[in-house]
């Protein structure tokens, strides 16, 4: 075939040909029906529209993002910093005929929720996950064929504070008190109730709503702070090291009676007085995601109540083993404790 093209037109023709070749090479049917611009637009819009409710002094910032363009799907991940102890939100936008997604982090399956556009889920980076290389493993079926791919990303190191504290928890650090039969019995009952509350979880109850648990953001003890506890030996006038403990939640300052808000939508799994936790509320957000609120003065909710993010669920207090009034809040995602505040920057969408 003879092509009769003027020089100027030929350049246009070549550019177009090059573009089409390149387009065919990189798309080549790879992405099938995926409309990437549409997807990007939707989550960007969502990020702005569905910002969590949080106090003015909360240091909100855009989450970091990782995108994996695979031949059969795209995975988006969002996290505060992809650091140890951070929650991660992920979306899988599949091509057609791709089914039965299963996704794993650290051999742990991430529970996914199917949506109109694909799948979404949350997972936690264990606070003691080594910094550096990490990967998600994704298993799926494509045209009846089982496939597996790994998606590598980096986990950032987080400096968790270490503090030395003198144990001053009154009767809670008094062994003779803890040995009393009625106390032992109550502690055992509490353990049983907590075990039951964590043993079942609803299907996903999360929507795009998230909320800070208080009106004011003042951290008094960081998430995963290690505490070396001391007891004062009066006879020897010396501090005696007792044990190391890890703070599996976040302590936020608040005066007695300050309202506490649910951090996300869910169903109350437990709300009553416990020995160490004081007035304790546990909310099930579905897919084995829980948030817990301890040492309350009062709780406003009961087991099985349906809760929306930002609902007033109780009041700050100093019940249980504490040195003063504050809120201890924790978030656990499929068995992994994460910094509750890392949830508030995620662009979770419907």
CB of 119 to Zn ion, least distance (A): 34
CA gap 60, 54 in Å, rounded: 8
For Zn ion, the closer of residues 224 and 348 by Cβ is: 224
Instruction: Map residues 241-280 to x or -, x wherever contact with Zn ion holds by CB under 5 A.
Output: ----------x-----------------------------
Rounded least distance, CB 293 to Zn ion, Å: 11
Give the count of residues interacting with Zn ion (CB under 5 A). Answer: 2
Q: Which of residues 278-297 bind Zn ion (CB under 5 A)?
A: none
CB nearer to Zn ion: pick between 72 and 277 = 277
Q: Is 328 in the site for Zn ion (CB under 5 A)?
A: yes
Q: Is 339 one of the binding residues for Zn ion (CB under 5 A)? A: no
CB of 276 to Zn ion, least distance (A): 11
Report residue 78 as tokens.
Answer: 């969002």
Question: DSSP secondary structure string, 267-297?
Answer: EEEEEEEETTTEEEEEEE-STTEEEEEEEEE
d(CA 192, CA 117): 40
181: how many CB neighbours lie within 10 A of its CB? 7
Measuring CA to CA, which residue among 187, 202, 188 is closest to residue 282?
A: 202
Determine the interface stretch with Zn ion among 111-119, 189-197, 199-207, 322-330 (rule: CB under 5 A). Answer: 322-330
In angstroms, rounded to a whole number, what is the distance separating the alpha carbons of residues 231 and 137? 46
What would the two tokens of residue 72 be? 């059969």
| Pairing assessment for the beta strands 162-166 and 226-233 based on DSSP bridges | parallel
Q: Is 120 in the site for Zn ion (CB under 5 A)?
A: no
Q: For binding to Zn ion (CB under 5 A), which residues are involved?
A: 251, 328
């Amino acid at each position: 075939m003879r092509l009769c093209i003027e020089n100027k037109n030929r350049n246009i023709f070549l550019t177009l040909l090059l573009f089409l070749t390149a387009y065919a090479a990189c798309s080549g049917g790879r992405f099938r029906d995926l409309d990437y611009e549409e997807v990007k637009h939707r989550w960007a819009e969502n990020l702005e529209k569905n910002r969590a409710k949080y106090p003015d002094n909360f240091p909100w910032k855009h989450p970091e993002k990782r995108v994996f363009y695979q031949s059969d799907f795209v995975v988006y991940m969002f996290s505060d910093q992809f650091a140890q102890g951070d929650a991660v939100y992920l979306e899988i936008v599949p091509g057609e005929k791709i089914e039965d997604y299963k996704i794993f982090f650290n051999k742990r399956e991430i529970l996914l929720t199917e949506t109109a556009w694909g799948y979404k889920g949350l997972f936690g980076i264990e606070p003691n996950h080594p910094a550096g290389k990490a990967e998600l493993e994704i298993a799926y079926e494509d045209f009846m064929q089982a496939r597996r791919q790994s998606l590598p990303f980096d986990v950032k190191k987080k400096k968790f504070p270490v503090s030395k504290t003198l144990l001053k928890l009154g009767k809670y650090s008094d062994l003779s008190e803890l040995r009393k039969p009625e106390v032992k019995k109550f502690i055992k009952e509490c353990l049983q109730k907590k075990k039951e509350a964590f043993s079942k979880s609803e299907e996903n109850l999360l929507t795009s709503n998230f909320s800070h648990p208080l009106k004011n953001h003042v951290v008094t003890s960081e998430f995963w702070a290690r505490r070396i506890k001391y007891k004062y030996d009066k006879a020897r006038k010396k501090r005696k090291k007792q044990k190391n403990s890890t703070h599996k939640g976040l302590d936020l300052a608040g005066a007695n009676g300050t309202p506490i808000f649910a951090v996300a939508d869910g169903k109350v799994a437990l709300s009553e007085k416990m020995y160490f936790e004081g007035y304790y509320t546990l909310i099930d957000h579905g897919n084995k995601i829980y948030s817990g609120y301890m040492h309350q003065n009062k709780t406003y909710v009961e087991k099985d109540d349906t809760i929306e993010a930002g609902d007033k669920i109780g009041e700050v207090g100093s019940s249980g083993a504490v040195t003063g009034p504050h809120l201890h809040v924790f978030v656990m995602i499929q068995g992994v404790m994460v910094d509750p505040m890392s949830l508030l920057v995620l662009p979770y969408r419907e």
